[in-house]
Chains A and B, each alone.
Chain A
Amino acid sequence: MKAVGARLPRYDGTAHVTGRTVFVDDVRVPGTLWAKALRSPVHHADITGLDTSKAEAMKGVHAVITHADVPLLEYGHLSALGIPADEPLLAKEGVRYKGQPIALVAAEDEETAMEAVAAIEVEFAEKPALFDIRLALDPDAPTVHHWGNIYPHFEGPMDRRQIRKGDIDWAFDHADLIVEGVYRPAAIEHCPLETQVCQVVPEADGRLTIYTCSQALYFSMGVVASHLQVPLNKLKLVGGTVGGGFGGKVDTASETMTALLAMKAARPVKWRWTREEEFLCSTTRAAWHMEIADAVTSDGWILGRKMLTLHDSGAYARFSPYGVTKHSFHHTGAYTIPNLSFDGYVVFTNRTPSTAMRGFGVTSVSFAVETHMNRIAELLDMDPFEIRLKNANRIGDTSPNGVVYTDPSTVQTIHVMAEEVGHELPADYRTMTRGPRDGELLPEHLLAQVGDPEAH
């Protein structure tokens, strides 16, 4: 543990302060063409006509690509986990969010590329759009997705991430108080200072060199190879220098399309999104709707929790099922609640697809849980530190998904927080440990959930 607490220099510090760090946009390849995308100007529509011939005939235009140029049009970000694909790389029958790419152009310079995009003829039959996840199951709600408005492919035909633990009816029958809350964090744009950018170079040996700003280089490699239907040894991805990501550069947003342009034009191609594209078309953190009802005793035990979560996936699934699964595992926060009934839905809307952002699926539920803990403490007239310590995860407690905690840190964390803010705790809370429950901290209602940490 030589590094913990020591002052170590950043390995990239000197390069950063001298301007020598080479971001993707700083890679210099002679003869590089500029890419621009035709993006949907509407939120939801059928595409009734698409004609790129005028753009293709323009002087200085070297390649135009549409859905017809993609060897495998649909490949899901979770396809490798057996989850079916739902998103075309370039829109074919229709568009489901404003900004969805329909066609791309590679031209001698940025202005020519923009003129060529403007020369592409596309016709839409607009459809009503859905933006509010709470309305997704209304009978008159627009249908966003060919799977319906709810993602239907959790285990087998399950349309939700579901957790049932203990006896939720017993908990609500024995509660002194039911505490309810609704929590609705909004979507957030990651807004990295470096917008999405990709440079692809077709090499003489038939390989493609792909300079990527991806946060997930090997993952992107698989996505590109699948869409292009080429073996991995045809791709050389160069990455590792990311001008801010925060989760917004996990999805493979630009590599595949830039690669297709470079192959078709047989020239190096660069695609750098504008700030406007980054705001309007890139992924965001999802909007969430969370409803919590807790069965609480007057002395501060949380006997049970019912929770409903709606997660705004945007127009396609991407990583949302994974995010909601993580969310479900964390829906009791750092606290042990023995009786649970949780239902989490991935809801499709006509917004840009959402993705990871700094604690994917967990940040939202932590906000809800911690706010809810304060609400319970206030209603019971209890110290918010004490109610947290009382219900804190201990060695041997089990998580919502049945994992036995061997190394929980809730108790120490709350002790440090109390000390940092100068909050006096009564002696029995101050001396509390994270060790296995016993005595007053192992009331009858927590017995059944205790597991064996050694068996883990």
Chain B
Amino acid sequence: MPGELVRFTEVTKSFGPVRALDGVDLSIAPGECLGLVGHNGAGKSTLINLLTGALTPTSGSMQVAGSPGSVHDPRAARRLGIRCVFQELSLCPNLTVAENIRLVHPVLRGWNWSKRAAALIRTSLDTVFPGHCIRAGATVSSLSLTERQMVEIARAFTTTDVAPRLVILDEPTSSLDASTASQLLAHIRRMTQQGCSVLLVTHMLHEVLESADRIAVMSDGRVVGCDPADAHDRDSLVALMSGGTHRASVARLAADRRTGSSPVLEVRAQAGLKAGESLVANEGEVIGLGGLAGHGQTEFLVDLFSARTMAIVAGDRKRDGVFPLWSIRENISVGAYRKHLRHGLLDLASEQASAEDWRGRMKIRAPDMDNPILSLSGGNQQKALFARALDSDARIILMDDPMRGVDVQTKQDVYAMIRAQAAAGRTFLWYTTEMDELYECDRVYVFREGRIMAALGPNEITEERVLQASF
């Protein structure tokens, strides 16, 4: 296509053994609104980070405005006119609205900069969100989440030395109400008519269908389809996201054996769940909690958790998983240290024996269990956390997307362990954003906006059905 603004050719990006982008081909034309959709972990964020200069590709070529390899840092991206509205926002809460504008415009300096910054954001807010009531002198921490998102969006469309040529909007409407969201979509149309390109990344399929000229669908680090928006409807997008392959659910040998077992857990609408279906978990079952990230799965697990009968494997191991200063052995035994008490004191020999036992069973690759936990790779740390949960006598194990960013071999080891433990009668509740892991489950509940939207039985777990319920 002549006059392309952005062209990705065979772009890959790896983080250690994990391939986030696996040969992406994509182009954005000037004045085009390109929609980008895909499940969590499909590679959308990585793509955005490449465009904003926060990451550089592992291989492949990335041309912006005809110049190859020019987006090597955020400043270079800015000079090329690339602006980004991040999903988690990037305003400093301690600064005023005008001061936050200054941060992204190096030329706003010297005499009178604050007046100029205030005028700039006021004009932009008036254009994008007419009727807003945000003062340029207000401190960001005093604004509501909606107002902050409005400021963040309006900031991306301000112009000083470099006019925006490509504005990336990552889930821009997640905290906007219906009327401000439609103001934004109208502004996107105005901007594209003026020749500015927009990359609209969202889970709200109706928004891309409405506003985008073309829609790119990502799945497993690839762009699996990029067609005009008119050619699509909701169902065709969902079908594309599942990779087009209607993978049948793996037949479960163990499924029959479980039919007779008794429910160990039954959660009805009143307990934790909003109106929707109830969740039942039987002894020895692996229950998957699916859906897009942040749709209430973690909150559901936290509500459910009771220390007496359950153990939890944290997803964010840095924040609420490992004790960073302790050894591997201590990190494992802390979950059930009472087992190792003798006369009120810790019996180190018993603790050590148990740690050695887990090293063998979980295949933790460590020369010595007394080494600090941080000497392990991420995957092996996660194995140690699994060992901590399984070492307890909890009958129910809750898992909060624990395999994020873990290599394939480790995953296989852990899946095997989960199978073995389930066969021994333990019940697993497994929140995961990865489709492959849902295939490992006996049954799957799909969450959307804090509710269970679908309950899939052993032979019903397909990517398409999970995605249908997620969107």
Does chain A bind chain B? no
Give me the interface of B with A, judged by CB distance under 8 Å: none
Give me the interface of A with B, judged by CB distance under 8 Å: none
